Structure 1
Amino acid sequence: MWLLKQDVSPWLAKSGYVVVVKPLRVLAIILVAMLIRWLLHRAISRLASSTSRASMPALLRPLKERNDVTAEEALFIPERRRQRAEAIGSVLRSFVSAVVFTMATLLILGEFGFNLGPLLASAGIVGVALGFGAQSLVKDLIAGLFMLLEDQYGVGDTVDLGEATGVVESVGLRITTVRDARGVLWYIRNGEIVRVGNKSQGWAMVVIDIPIGFVSSEEAIAVLRIAAESVATEPEHQTEFLEPPEVIGVEQLTVDGAVIRTIAKTTADSQVVIQRDLRRALTESLETSGLSERIAASRLLPRSAVPPAWLGGGENSSPSPADPQRPGGAT
Structure 2
Amino acid sequence: MISPVLAASPQPSPAGWESVRDDFLAFLVTAGWNLLWVAVTIASALLLSWIMRRLISRVVDHIVLGAKSRAAAEDTRAIDMSPLAQVRIVQRTRTLGSILTNIVNVAIVIIAILTIVYILNPGVLASFTLLSAAIGAGLGFGAQNIVKDVLNGIFIVAEDQIGIGDVVDVGLATGIVEYVSVRVTHVRDVNGTLWFVRNGEILRIGNMSQGWSRVVIDVGVPLDADIDAVEDAMLTAAKDLVREPKWRTRILDKPEIWGLESIGGDTVITRLVVKTRPNAKDDVSRALRKRLKTALDELGVPLPQLASTLLTGADAAQSIRGANPPKTKPQQVTPPTPPRLAWRPKKRGRTDGEPPEGTAAP
Q: TM-score, normalised by structure 2?
A: 0.56
The residue that corresponds to 1:165 in the other structure is 174
The reply to whether residue 202 of structure 1 matches residue 214 of structure 2 is no
Query: 1:269-312: CA deviations, max 9, x gaps?
Result: 1100100111111121111011229x89xxxxxxxxxxxxxxxx
Q: CA deviation at 1:49?
A: 4.4
Which residue of 2 is the match for residue 284 of structure 1? 294
Using the alignment, how far apart are the partners of 1:179 and 1:208 within structure 2? 27
2:187 is matched with which residue?
178
Output the CA distance in 2 between the equivalents of 1:85 and 1:281: 42
Contact 1:177 1:187 in 2 (8 A): yes
- Which amino acid letter does the alignment assign opposite residue 101 of structure 2? S
Which residue pairs with 2:257 in the alignment?
247
For 2:264 and 2:124, the matched residues in 1 are separated by 84
Change in Cα spacing, 1:258 to 1:128, as seen in structure 2 (3 Å) is: same
Partner SS, residue 206 of structure 1: strand
Instruction: Kindly state the Cα deviation for residue 82 of structure 1 after the two structures are TM-superposed.
Output: 2.5
Relative distance call for 1:131 and 1:288 in structure 2 (3 A) is same
Which whole-Å deviations, capped at 9, do the CAs of 1:202-233 have from their partners, x for residues lacking one? 21100000112222221211111111111111
Letter in 1 for 2:166: D
Report what 1:76 is aligned to.
87
* Residue 158 of structure 2: aligned partner: 149
Q: Give the Cα separation in 2 of the matches to 1:150 and 1:235.
A: 35
Change over 3 Å in CA distance of 1:194–1:256 after alignment to 2 = same
Name the counterpart of 2:148. Answer: 139
Distance 2:266 2:171 in 1: 35
Tell me how far 1:83 sits from its aligned partner. Answer: 1.1
Residues 80/180 of structure 1: CA separation in 2 closer, same or farther (3 Å cut): closer
Q: Which runs of 5+ in 1 are unaligned?
A: 1-33, 54-67, 297-331
Give the SS at the match of 1:270.
helix
The match for 2:284 is 274
**Tell me, what secondary structure is at the counterpart of 1:132?**
helix
8 A contact 2:174–2:188 mirrored in 1: yes
* Secondary structure of 1:282's aligned partner: helix
Offset of 1:102 from its aligned partner?
9.7
> 1:88 & 1:189 partners in 2: Cα distance?
15
Secondary structure at 2:279 match in 1: coil
Contact 1:52 1:81 in 2 (8 A): no
Cα distance between partner residues in 2 of 1:100 and 1:261:
62
Once structures 1 and 2 are overlaid, which stretch shifts more, 266-275 or 193-202?
193-202
Tell me the equivalent position of 1:211: 220
Contact 2:117 2:124 in 1 (8 A): no
Does the residue aligned with 1:262 lie in a helix, a strand or coil? Answer: strand
Per the normalisation by structure 1, the TM-score is 0.61
- Tell me the distance in 2 between the aligned counterparts of 1:73 and 1:179: 24
- Name the SS for the 1:194 alignment partner: coil
Q: Which letter maps to 2:196?
A: Y
CA distance in 1, matches of 2:81, 2:180: 25
> Residue 86 in 1 paired to residue 87 in 2?
no
Q: How far, CA to CA, are the matches of 1:114 and 1:153 in structure 2? A: 43
Structure 1 pair 280–195 and aligned structure 2 pair: CA distance change class (3 A): same
Work out the CA distance in 2 between the residues paired with 1:114 and 1:152. 43
Question: Secondary structure of the residue that 1:201 maps to in structure 2?
Answer: coil
SS of residue in 1 equivalent to 2:234: helix
Structure 1 residues 288 and 96 mapped into 2: Cα distance closer, same or farther (>3 Å)? same
Instruction: Tell me which residue corresponds to 1:259.
Output: 269
The root-mean-square deviation of aligned C-alpha atoms, in Å, is 4.1
- 8 Å CA contact retained: 1:241, 1:264: yes
Amino acid corresponding to residue 153 of structure 1 in structure 2: I
Distance 1:253 1:242, change over 3 A: same
- Structure 1's 184 and 77: CA in aligned 2 closer, same or farther, altered over 3 A? closer
Distance in 1 (alpha carbons) for counterparts of 2:201 and 2:239: 44
Identity %: 32
Q: CA deviation at 1:99?
A: 8.7
1:94 Cα offset (Å): 5.3
Q: Which amino acid aligns with 2:262?
A: Q
> Which one is further off, 228-237 or 249-258?
249-258
Give the total of aligned pairs. 248
- Relative distance call for 1:120 and 1:289 in structure 2 (3 A) is same
What is the CA–CA distance in structure 1 between the aligned matches of 2:154 and 2:144, rounded to whole Å? 15
**Cα gap change, 1:175 to 1:113, in 2 (>3 Å):** closer
